[in-house]
Amino acid sequence: MKKHFTLFLALVFLVSIGFNAYGGGNSQQKSTSTTPAAELRDPTTAATGAKKGNVTMGPNSAKKTYVAIASKSFETLDPFYVAGAVGVRMSYALFETLWDIEYGGSKEVGILAKNWSVSSDGLKVDAEIYDNIADWQGNKITADDVVWSYNKYLSLKTLRYLKSIEKTGNYSVRLTLTEPYYPGFLIMAVKVNIVSQKAYEANPASWRNNPIGTGPYKAI
């Protein structure tokens, strides 16, 4: 990651969104991020999202407005409890993951992950993340936050194919899988929204409608 983008887009949710009232092994293959996340989501859109780990966030970023209208109601924007097609699509805008899928293909491309390797038995993935990622409040994202985010999903029993994750450096982690890796596995089986542990634990209840994301858009 060589520089930060300065463009910061705010995601405005209209009333029509309808919130409910009740609510390592030896590495054999290596990969590196080369595709902007915005192009992954929509190839006709300018690169306003993540590029090689650069995420458009930060309290001093220039702001523009993007209005998203949801066709169905959903209960929460909390990345650990969001459910349903509409909520999940919203989470794609609000939070970044280590990987996304290549456009028109089946392999992973790095978003927060700078590079990674898979062990010879396919059961361990060593990943390095970029060292200048921050959330909307400016909280720096480190390996501790990645491990915490994954373990949060594990505690909720929503990651069947992940056995464990451990920190191997300030900006590196190792994932141990329950099934051997194949192209696309890290997206289809162990995709996790990465957030700041500090930001989440400060006020978990507020994340239902006011999350502090790591993605290119902000809910206001």
- Give the tens place of pLDDT for each residue, 152-201: 999 998 899 999 999 999 999 999 999 999 999 999 899 999 999 999 99
- Give the tens place of pLDDT for each residue, 78-135: 999 988 777 788 888 899 999 998 888 888 999 999 999 999 999 999 999 999 999 9
Asked whether residue 49 is domain-assigned, the answer is yes
Asked whether residue 61 is domain-assigned, the answer is yes
Q: What is the pLDDT of residue 60?
A: 53
Tell me the CATH number at 39: 3.90.76.10
Q: What domain count does the chain have? A: 1
Distance CA 77, CA 208 (A): 5
Distance CA 129, CA 146 (A): 9
Specify the 3-state DSSP secondary structure of 68: strand
**At 180, phi and psi to the nearest 5?**
-60, 145
> Which ranges of 19-174 would DSSP assign to H, the alpha helix?
37-41, 84-94, 143-155
- Token code pair at residue 4: 């930060």
The DSSP output letter for 3 is -
Distance CA 96, CA 111 (A): 7
Asked whether residue 2 is domain-assigned, the answer is no
Which residues form the domain of 131?
A: 7-219
Bridging pattern class, strands 99-101 and 62-68: unpaired
Instruction: Say if residue 20's pLDDT is above 80.
Output: no
Cα separations in angstroms, 200 against 37, 81, 130:
24, 13, 21
The DSSP output letter for 11 is E
Asked whether residue 160 is domain-assigned, the answer is yes
Asked whether residue 1 is domain-assigned, the answer is no
